[in-house]
């Protein structure tokens, strides 16, 4: 469809952290730095790992818990180094069909919520069953990139 796409993602490992009791913006900031330290060598192998995209954030409307994640690069998928920070963990996300809505610009928590609402409305109007109790935000650009930015919201298909 022109206003969203349906993607099939394979099973993959992500390095994640959960930030509790903060605003989404602050949770993203804290979560990003915890994960950045992991890829800079704060792991059992003291190994530097390439930064990957997207950076995702699990949003459960009404909750102040936010799970921030980096995709583990393909060369480390089989055995990612274990984090040494007890707040950071490796998770395996199962293969899934995901409805994706893309948009540009600098994405604020308000903009992500607005785009998620638009996507949810479209999916409901087309009779597409999806998990409505959570969505992911996905950011692809460094804060220093000013133009042609790419952001997404994801709903998992039922």
Q: Which CATH superfamily is domain 5-156 in?
A: Regulatory factor, effector binding domain (3.20.80.10)
- pTM of the full structure: 0.96
Provide the residue ranges of all domains of the chain, joining segments of one domain with +: 5-156
What is the residue-level pLDDT of the chain in tens, covering all 158 positions?
789 999 999 999 999 999 999 999 999 999 999 999 999 999 999 999 999 999 999 999 999 999 999 999 999 999 999 999 999 999 999 999 999 999 999 999 999 999 999 999 999 999 999 999 999 999 999 888 999 999 999 999 99
Q: What is the DSSP string of 16-80?
A: EEEEESS-HHHHHHHHHHHHHHHHTT-BTT-------S-EEEEE-TT--EEEEEEEPPGGGSSSP
């Amino acid at each position: 469809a022109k206003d969203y796409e349906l993607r099939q993602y394979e099973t993959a490992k992500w390095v994640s952290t959960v930030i509790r009791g903060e605003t989404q913006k602050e949770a993203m900031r804290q979560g990003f730095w915890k994960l950045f330290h992991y890829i800079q060598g704060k792991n059992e192998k003291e190994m530097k790992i390439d930064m990957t995209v997207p950076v995702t954030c699990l949003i459960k409307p009404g909750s102040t818990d936010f799970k921030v994640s980096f995709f583990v690069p393909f060369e480390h998928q089989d055995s990612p180094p274990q984090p040494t920070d007890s707040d950071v963990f490796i998770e395996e996300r199962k293969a899934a069909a995901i409805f994706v809505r893309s948009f540009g610009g600098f994405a604020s928590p308000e903009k992500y919520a607005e785009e998620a609402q638009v996507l949810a409305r479209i999916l409901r109007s087309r009779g597409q069953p999806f998990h409505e109790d959570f969505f992911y935000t996905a950011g692809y650009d460094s804060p220093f990139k000013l133009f042609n930015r790419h952001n997404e919201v994801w709903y998992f298909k039922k």
